[in-house]
Amino acid sequence: MKHTDISLILGSPESYFDKDVTVCGWIRTFRDGKNMAFMALNDGTSLQHLQIVVDKNSCSADLSALSTGASVAVKGVAVKSFNANQAVEVNASQVTLLGACPQDYPIQKTKTSLDFLRTLPHLRVRTNTFNAVFRIRSKLSAAIHEFFQQRGFLYVHTPIITGSDCEGAGEIFQVTTVGFDPSVKTQQEYDAKDFFGQRAGLTVSGQLEGEVMATAFGKIYTFGPTFRAENSNTTRHAAEFWQIEPEVAFAELPDIMEIATDFIKHIIASVLDGCGEELAFLEKFYEQGLREKLRNVVDNDFAVVDYAQAVEILKNSGQSFQYPVDWGKDLQTEHERYLTDVVYKRPVFVVNYPKDIKSFYMKQNVDGRTVAATDLLVPGVGEIIGCSEREADYDKLLKAITDRHMKLDDYKNYLDLRRYGSVPHSGFGLGLERILMYVTGMGNIRDTIAFPRAKNELR
Ligand code: 4AD
Ligand code: MG
């Protein structure tokens, strides 16, 4: 159908004045008067609606089926609007109903709680809130590629089906073609019968393959779906999320932290530049001061605190936390939130975690107790990045694998990277939905991904 995107008309109204246009879209609101009817039309290309004016004396449209949610094609003339809130409107000469929308259409002005909308994943995306969120998601994704491409990183695709558990947290979704079979008596028998002749699962991280690529291409990044069978039902965990994982050869922890900082600033600056309208909308309805918060991230340094020091700060805070704070224990959300929301009030890198609470691949520090790893925490959300220098020493890595009783066979190739021209290298993983929560002010990760997958949730 030949038609003009509403975003183009709203983007440069003057160039459309007094011209014939055809626009298509869904009716957001419809007001029917005696001589005139008005509709706010949205085609999804913009957060803003286009006002359509129907003069019943000159436009012989059948208006009876027009209602909120109906889809129409409108032919008319774009004119300067008398309404101060909009620059342009369209005087319709022809309105064609494409699809009627009965009164039981659940997306109505009065029922817009996010909890309610989550029950309607197929329709909630037609609301202003999700228009803004997904437009920002798209912009953020483009900015992520832009950042790495401008700096000569190779975009690589790591497998979705894998045979190893990168994070060792036992959160792998199994991939199998073998159904219930009472004749199978052991796990080995079962695995041998399976498609790959061994156990397979959905990737929890592209890092291990990313390291392979980085030790050939120097600087790489992945950007793809990641799966975790998180058994917890929180507002920050999804079973399927998108992760960005750069991996850089000849880089130590401070180098990768510098890249992570520049990266976060770059993608946030892009959203500030390109999604002003969307941010203004979210600021009005979801998070006061959102744009100032983001501007501050772009303009200021991130804080850095040693894990041991963070533990002391928490211990001396006078707060009564639900979970105990002690050197050697992982930081819980409440602890992270105290550090970001109360102490630092800006993004903070917590560095040098105890090795026992972190993954096997992290570079062991000379103290023998900690690893060269850092999490980037942000106010309101907590951890958005997990980052580390990788253990490049064959013997130390081998020991970390065997100490954790991991299956050596699964990590043979990974260990080989430390036998054949091993180099210091580092990388990190950013959860796209986590940073989207931060950028949009959405308090629940389910509202940053179109079709959220979580425990007992598969709509
Ligand atoms: O800290 P994580 O587990 O680190 C890794 O996977 C490393 N292999 C990354 C690397 O160094 N290449 O996860 C990285 C990030 C987290 O900081 C968080 O933002 C996000 O992935 N993440 C999740 N996001 C949504 N739902 C979940 N269940 C998530 N688990 C991790
Ligand atoms: Mg982590």
Per-residue pLDDT tens listing for the chain (459 residues): 899 999 999 999 999 999 999 999 999 999 999 999 999 999 999 999 999 999 999 887 788 999 999 999 999 999 999 888 899 999 999 999 999 999 999 998 776 799 999 999 999 999 999 999 999 999 999 999 999 999 999 999 999 999 988 888 889 999 999 988 899 999 999 999 999 999 999 999 999 999 999 999 999 999 999 999 988 889 999 999 999 999 999 999 999 999 999 999 999 999 999 999 999 999 999 999 999 999 999 999 999 999 999 999 999 999 999 999 999 999 999 999 999 999 999 999 999 999 999 999 999 999 999 999 999 999 999 999 999 999 999 999 999 999 999 999 999 999 999 999 999 999 999 999 999 999 999 999 999 999 999 999 998
Tokens 């990768």, located at residue: 256
Give the Cα separation of 155 and 213 in Å (integer): 10
Radius of gyration of the chain (CA): 27
Pocket test of ligand 1: the residue of 361, 434, 435, 445 to mutate, having most ligand atoms within 8 Å of its CB, is 434
Q: How far apart are CA 439 and CA 170, in angstroms?
A: 30
Q: What is the pLDDT of residue 363?
A: 98
Which pLDDT belongs to residue 449? 98
Residue with CA at minimum distance from ligand 1 atom 23: 431
What pLDDT sits at residue 111? 66
190 Cβ contact list (under 8 Å, min separation 6): 178, 181, 184
Q: From CA 310, how far away is CA 365, in angstroms rounded?
A: 18
Cα atoms in the 13 Å half-sphere on the side-chain side of 347 = 27
User: Partners of 364 in the beta sheet?
Assistant: 371
Could you give the CA distance from residue 451 to residue 454 in angstroms, rounded to a whole number?
A: 10
Helix or strand run (H / E) with residue 285: helix 276-285
Give the residue, by CA position, lying nearest to ligand 1 atom 29.
Answer: 237
Q: Which of 243, 330, 438 to mutate to test the pocket of ligand 1 (most atoms within 8 A of CB)?
A: 243
- Full-model pTM: 0.96
End-to-end CA distance of the chain, in Å?
Answer: 32
Residue 76 is given by DSSP the state E
CB 68 within 8 A of CB 27: yes
Q: Ligand 1: which residues within 6 Å by Cβ?
A: 166-167, 205, 207, 228, 230, 237-238, 241, 243, 245, 383-388, 427-431, 433-434, 445
Please identify which residue in the block is written with the tokens 């890198």: 349
The conformation of residue 407, written as its DSSP 8-state character, comes to -
